[in-house]
Amino acid sequence: MNVRAVAAIVLNQVIEQGESLSQALPLAQKDINLKDKALLQMLCYGVLRTLPRLDFFCSSLINKPLKGKHRCLHFLILIGIYQLLYTRIPSHAAVGETVNGAKALKRTALKGMINGVLRNFMRKKNQLVEKADKQDQLRYCHPSWLVKRLQQAYGIEKSIEIMHENNQQAPMWLRVNKVHHTTLHYQTILKKANLEAFLTIDIENCNALRLDNAIDVNKLPGFDKGWVSVQDAAAQLAAHYLSPQKNDLILDACAAPGGKTLHTLELQPDLKQMVAVDCNEKRLLRVQENLNRLGLTATVIHGDASKSEDWWTGEQFDRILCDAPCSATGVIRRHPDIRWLRRDSDIQELVKLQKNILQSLWKILKSGGILLYATCSILPDENDLQIADFLKHTPNAKIIPLSKRSNIAKGCQLLPNEDHMDGFYYAKLQKVTY
C-alpha cells in the first residue's frame, strides 16, 4: 500500500467532496500498520494546514490544472511538495514514494510528469517561497473571509497570533476519571509506563493532564477500564462550570460524542438522572459506547435541541449544558479541514440555529436553574454577541461570572493555545425567580 496515494484519496474526499477529515481519515487508516497510520495522518494534516501555499507552488509549476479523473494526482503533487518543504523525509524518498503513488492510483503514464514537477520545485524552492511569503493568504493559510472576521474581532496583530496557533499541532489532553484515580496518581502511573504528562496549573481543570506527543489511546494505562479519556482541557471546563449537584436532573444538549456527559457523571455520580440528547443518531452510538467503557448510565435520546417539545417528558431540568453547534473556529489546529469546508455564510445560519436552541432549552429549565452555553468557536457573533442578544430578550435570565475566566462582557473566551488549550467560549446563565 502506498501511503502517499491513500493520503491523496483522503484529501480529494475532503477538499473536492466536502467530507470531514475526522470521517475520511479513520476509514483510510483501518487496514494499515501503526507506523503508516502516523505518516498518513501527518501528510493529511500537514497538507490541509498549508493548502493555499502548496496550491500556489503547484500551479506555478504545471501548465494545466489537473481536473476530473486526474484530480487525485493534484493532491499527490501537494503531498510531494509538502514533504520536500516541511518534513525531514529525505528528498529522494519523498520524490520516489510520491511518484510511485501515481502507479497505486492507476495513473502510471503520469509518473514522469509528477517526477518533473517535484524536481523542478526542488530547484525553484527558495524563489517560490519568497513569492508566497509576500501574500497574506499564502503566509497565514486561512481563507480570506475568516481572516477578515478575526481581524474585526481581535485586530491585526492578535489575529496573526491566532492564525499562527491554528497552524500548530495540538497537544493530547487526558481527562482522569476521579472515580478511579486522582490526577496526581494517574500521572505517576503514566510515568511508570514511560509517558510524560504535565499537570495543568489551572485549579478548575483538576482532572486534566497534557501529553505533548499524541499516542494511541490503547497505550494509555487503564483506558479500557475507564480510568482515563481523551478530551481537551478547554472542553473539560464545561462539567466544572456546570457544577453538578447531588440529585440534579441534568441535560446535555447536542451531547455527541459524549465527553461532557461522561465528565459530568464522573464529577457527580449521584445525579437524579443524566439525559444526553443529539440530533445525529450515528454519533449517539459513540455516546453509548463511551458510557459502556466507563461503566456509566445516562438516558440517551435522539432529538433536536431546537425542538425540545418533540422529546421532552415534562420535568424541568436543574442544569442544562447547551453545547451549541458552531463554526468550530476554535479547534482548527485539531481539525485543519474546518477552514476550507466552512463558508462565511455558514456563520449567520449557525447564529440563527444557536438562538433557536437557547430559546427552546430555556423553556425546559427549572426556575433558579443553570444553563451553561458553550461553543468551540472564537467568533463573537456565536459567543458574546449571541449571549448579549439572549439576555436582552430574556428578562428572567442573568449572567453568572465564571470566576477568573470571565474575561469579556458576557462570558469567558479562550483563544487557541491559551494555557495549551483549544479555543472555547462559555457563558453561565441562571433562570431568575421573580
Q: Cell 453509548 sits at which residue?
A: 288
Which of 44, 58, 72, 376 is catalytic? The answer is 376
Q: Hey, CA dihedral for 163, 167, 171, 173, is it positive or negative?
A: positive
Buried b (16+ CB within 10 A) or exposed e, 113-128: bbbebbbebeeeeeeb
Residue 269 · residue 246 · CB < 8 Å: no
At 237, which amino acid appears?
Answer: L
Q: Cell 482548527 sits at which residue?
A: 332
Residue 321 · residue 242 · CB < 8 Å: yes
Neighbours of 205 (CB within 10 A): 21
Active site residue 412: no
- Catalytic positions are 376
